[in-house]
Amino acid sequence: MSDNLDTGDVAAGFAEPHAYTVWQDIQGYLLGLVLATLLTVASFYVVYTHLIWAPAIPIALVVLAVAQIGVHLVFFLHLTTAPDNTNNVLALAFGVLIVALIIGGSVWIMNNLNDRMMPTMNQMMHMQR
Amino acid sequence: MSATDTVAHGHAREVDPYLLGRGGGHGSGQAVATGRGAGGPASKTVIVAYGFWLFLLSDIVLFSCLFAAHAVLQTAIGDGPAGHELFKPTNIAIETACLLLSSFTCGMSAVACGVRSQVWTQLTLLVTGLLGVAFLVLEANDFAELVQQGFGPQRSAFLSSFFAVVGCHGLHVSAGLLWLGTMMAQIFVKGFRADILRRMLCFNLFWHVLDIIWVALFTVVYLIGEGR
């Protein structure tokens, strides 16, 4: 058994063989690390300071998280637009659809049910005041 | 391998109108992209990575159910404590740093594998593993402290879903560490064989996805929960 890879061996997770030097490979990961660190620090900073109007913080956090997930996908998982990656990207798009349906749908339905619930004794007293 | 090559070369065309193949049929790249009609079947590595990617996506869907449950139950604290009374930001920040750095060193191990360096591969994998262990120890400490204070999963719906989603991620990291150990042993004993490299590729994907899930986790569970 030789240690040769097939000629077309490029896929998510491994950078293209021969296309980049080792240093360029490492640079890619370093860039990813720096970007991810910046976004993480920004998330923590936003929560524990008053930089952003308080009610907007959750939205800011979601935006930062989505950006960081994007950074991970591109720099660590090497999800690209190359033809050998089309299937991976399409599968990811389907996964994102399912995840959005599950989380968005659950939150939507449960909030709606909560609104229609008969108020508790405590809440009724509160309303009368 | 040879079968793939024969097909690829046998059907090689002069023209590649959609530029599917790298280099458009000239240079050292393949004349036709594999896995695309006339290009012949995709290489085994591409197929293995695709299959494992599908598994990872289904794993992400599993996590999304736990996240949905947590999003719904986050305010259902009953007579128990709310999130902001429990979480220690420093601990969470250190755990996050551990996982992010381990993701980076894991990437370095893939680079080391690419140049077939036994020493660097083992070293970077070892660092990855140690960072993973540090993460798990911190998380286990947090859990033990919560349970000791009487804030275990049975206290409120919020704590149930908290332990479920964070614990499930912790279990994944534990499984990843076991896998990491076996990968180190396999690379040491069997060397950089094609099949071992494919396993290494899958391990890399797994470890990076764990970090992605942690990004969603510290955002949704800890940081957004902090405001509740």
Q: Which of A80, A95, A110 is the last residue of a domain?
A: A80
Which of A2, A81, A98, A102 would best serve as a mutation to test chain B binding (most B beta carbons within 10 A)? A102
Report the pLDDT value the prediction gives residue B76, as an integer from 0 to 100.
Answer: 86
Q: Which domain holds residue A64?
A: 1-80
Residues B67-101: pLDDT tens digits?
999 999 988 888 888 888 888 889 999 999 999 99
Residue B38 near chain A (CB below 8 Å): no
Report the pLDDT value the prediction gives residue B204, as an integer from 0 to 100.
Answer: 96
Which of B205, B217, B220 would best serve as a mutation to test chain A binding (most A beta carbons within 10 A)? B205
Residue A67 near chain B (CB below 8 Å): no
Q: How confident is the model at residue A42 (pLDDT cuts 50, 70, 90)?
A: very high
User: Taking 60 as the threshold, does the pLDDT of residue A17 lie above it?
Assistant: no
* pTM (predicted TM-score): 0.82
> What's the mean pLDDT in A12-23?
61
> What's the mean pLDDT in B12-19?
50
Report the pLDDT value the prediction gives residue B139, as an integer from 0 to 100.
Answer: 95
Residue B197 sits in the same domain as residue B116: yes
- Choose from A18-22, A39-43, B11-15 the range with maximum mean pLDDT: A39-43
Q: Which domain holds residue B204?
A: 44-226
Q: How confident is the model at residue A19 (pLDDT cuts 50, 70, 90)?
A: low
Give me the residue from B28, B43, B108 closest to A9, CB to CB. Answer: B43
The contacts of residue B191 (CB under 8 Å, 6+ apart) are: A3, B118
Alpha carbons A63 and A65: distance in angstroms, whole number: 5
Classified as helix, coil or strand, A11 is: strand
Residue A106 sits in the same domain as residue A66: no
CA count, 13 A, side-chain hemisphere, B69: 16
**A128 to chain B, closest Cα gap in Å:** 23
Q: Which residues pair with A14 in a beta bridge?
A: A11
CB B32 within 8 Å of CB B7: no
Residue B177 sits in the same domain as residue B214: yes
Residue B222 sits in the same domain as residue B172: yes
Residues of B in contact with A62 (CB under 8 A): 219, 224
| CATH number, residue B107 | 1.20.120.80
Residue A72 sits in the same domain as residue A20: yes
Contact B208 A5 (CB under 8 A): no
Residues of B in contact with A8 (CB under 8 A): 4, 8, 30, 33-35, 42-43, 45-46
Report the pLDDT value the prediction gives residue A77, as an integer from 0 to 100.
Answer: 92
Residue A89 sits in the same domain as residue A75: no
Residue B35's alpha-carbon distances to A67, B19, B107, in angstroms, are: 31, 14, 26
B positions 174-203 inside 8 Å of A (CB): 191-195, 197, 201-202
Alpha carbons B221 and B87: distance in angstroms, whole number: 10
Report the pLDDT value the prediction gives residue B224, as an integer from 0 to 100.
Answer: 86
Residue B63 sits in the same domain as residue B173: yes
Residue B170 sits in the same domain as residue B71: yes
User: Taking 80 as the threshold, does the pLDDT of residue B20 lie above it?
Assistant: no
> What's the mean pLDDT in A39-59?
91
Tally the domains of chain A: 2
CB B131 within 8 Å of CB B102: yes
Nearest to B120 by CA among B178, B184, B75: B184
Residue B107 sits in the same domain as residue B18: no
Residue A57 sits in the same domain as residue A2: yes
Residue A75 sits in the same domain as residue A93: no
Mean of per-residue pLDDT scores for chain B = 85
Residue B165 sits in the same domain as residue B209: yes
Residue A11's alpha-carbon distances to A34, A106, B65, B164, in angstroms, are: 23, 34, 28, 33
Report the pLDDT value the prediction gives residue B27, as an integer from 0 to 100.
Answer: 41
Residue A19 sits in the same domain as residue A52: yes
Residue A11 sits in the same domain as residue A49: yes
Tally the domains of chain B: 2
Residue A17 sits in the same domain as residue A37: yes
Report the pLDDT value the prediction gives residue A4, as an integer from 0 to 100.
Answer: 46
Residue B209 sits in the same domain as residue B167: yes
Residue A74 sits in the same domain as residue A100: no
Alpha carbons B110 and B120: distance in angstroms, whole number: 10
Residue B34 sits in the same domain as residue B69: no
A positions 5-24 inside 8 Å of B (CB): 5-15, 17-18, 22
Residue B138 sits in the same domain as residue B51: yes
Residue B62 sits in the same domain as residue B142: yes
Residue A99 sits in the same domain as residue A113: yes
Report the pLDDT value the prediction gives residue B213, as an integer from 0 to 100.
Answer: 96
Residue A66 near chain B (CB below 8 Å): no
B positions 42-81 inside 8 Å of A (CB): 42-46, 48-50, 53-54, 57, 60-61, 64-65, 67-69, 71-72
Q: Which residue of B has its CA nearest to A35?
A: B100
Residue A74 sits in the same domain as residue A102: no
Residue A53 sits in the same domain as residue A97: no
Residues of A in contact with B1 (CB under 8 A): 4, 6
Residue B100 sits in the same domain as residue B196: yes
Residues B180-226: pLDDT tens digits?
999 999 999 999 999 999 999 999 999 999 999 999 999 999 888 77
User: Taking 90 as the threshold, does the pLDDT of residue A122 lie above it?
Assistant: no
| CB neighbour class for B155 (10 Å; exposed up to 12, middle 13-18, buried from 19) | buried
User: Taking 70 as the threshold, does the pLDDT of residue B16 lie above it?
Assistant: no
User: Taking 50 as the threshold, does the pLDDT of residue B6 lie above it?
Assistant: no
